[in-house]
Amino acid sequence: MTVDKRYDFVLLFDVKDGNPNGDPDAGNLPRMDPETGHGLVTDVCLKRKLRNYVLQAKPCIPRYDIFVKDSAILNDLIDQGYERLGIDLSTEMTKEGQKRREKGVAQSDERKQGKAAMCKTYFDVRAFGAVMSTGANAGQVRGPVQLTFSRSIDPILSLEHCLTRVAITKPEDAERKETEMGRKATLPYALYRAHGFVNPYLAAQTGFSKEDLELLWEGLSRMFELDRSAARGLMTARKLVVFEHANALGNASAASLFERLTANRKDGVETARDFQDYAIALDRTNLPEGITVHERF
């Protein structure tokens, strides 16, 4: 059964002595708002971790494959989708007798079938959507689950550490040096806040089910546990608050609901270095009619 209600949610997560999301245009330093100094983590970064979690939690299970994954060739996966449907794109005419614009590219009626098949096969297409208009062309899907950039509660302090390695990369360098130098960027500590949305109208289009929704909540709570890296330090999902609406249109604006969850440094804490340095508060008073609040963790 597909999701038939609107959901808005807030995720709090933190990092200690790590780089949660490096910026390749800035020497892989942690992403930052240059005007305020607040740290940023992209929506793409969190979706990558969710995709990886689903691959590990639901291995080789139909409906839970991942379209955008390591070493995947997207056009090949689109071709395989049409092969599973029994559609031969190498012909000039479709089975219904319609002429293709070119061999290897699906005709409009076939694209509808291809899009539906890709949604059925791949969790991330069903959840986040995908651009599949390349190659054989399975169209474009707008996903019901969307995430904002995460922003740190306080400005961040980005540190660079100089490292040495006793192994030499090139044999010709071994005669003139015994070590090689490297650099590593970290944050001492930062607490981040991300906002997310689940649109039931788009869920109906992609087939995003209530079981998929439960897997999303599970992934948000556990995705960092299976994504450990020395570069990312200690990352932890700290709190997930879900605002469930009574219907598909919703009973209140997302912004007014998000304002009910606050995270501020405790009195007397000048520099936060741990999650316990913050006071987290959720205002449940005078909730709009039709809104149910779930503290998932």
Q: Is residue 66 part of a domain?
A: yes
Q: Is residue 81 part of a domain?
A: yes
Q: Is residue 232 part of a domain?
A: yes
pTM, to two decimals: 0.93
Q: Is residue 32 part of a domain?
A: yes
End-to-end CA distance of the chain: 25
Q: Is residue 142 part of a domain?
A: yes
Q: Is residue 193 part of a domain?
A: yes
Q: Collect all residues with Cβ–Cβ distance below 8 Å to 172 and sequence separation of at least 6.
A: none
- Please determine, for residue 162, whether its predicted confidence score (pLDDT) is greater than 90: no
Work out how many domains the chain is built from and give that number.
Answer: 1
Cβ atoms of residues 159 and 273 within 8 Å: no
Beta bridge partner(s), residue 147: 196
The DSSP element (H or E) to which 81 belongs, if any, is helix 74-85
Alpha carbons 296 and 1: distance in angstroms, whole number: 21
- Supply angle C-alpha 179, 182, 184, rounded to 5: 145
From residue 28, give the alpha-carbon distance in Å to each of 42, 97, 184.
Answer: 14, 53, 9
- Supply angle C-alpha 27, 40, 18, rounded to 5: 60
Largest CA distance in the chain: 75
pLDDT at res. 278: 98
pLDDT in tens, 223-238: 999 999 999 999 999 9
Instruction: Please tell me the total number of residues recorded for the chain in this structure.
Output: 297
Domain that holds residue 240: 7-177+179-295
pLDDT in tens, 253-282: 999 999 999 999 999 999 999 999 999 999
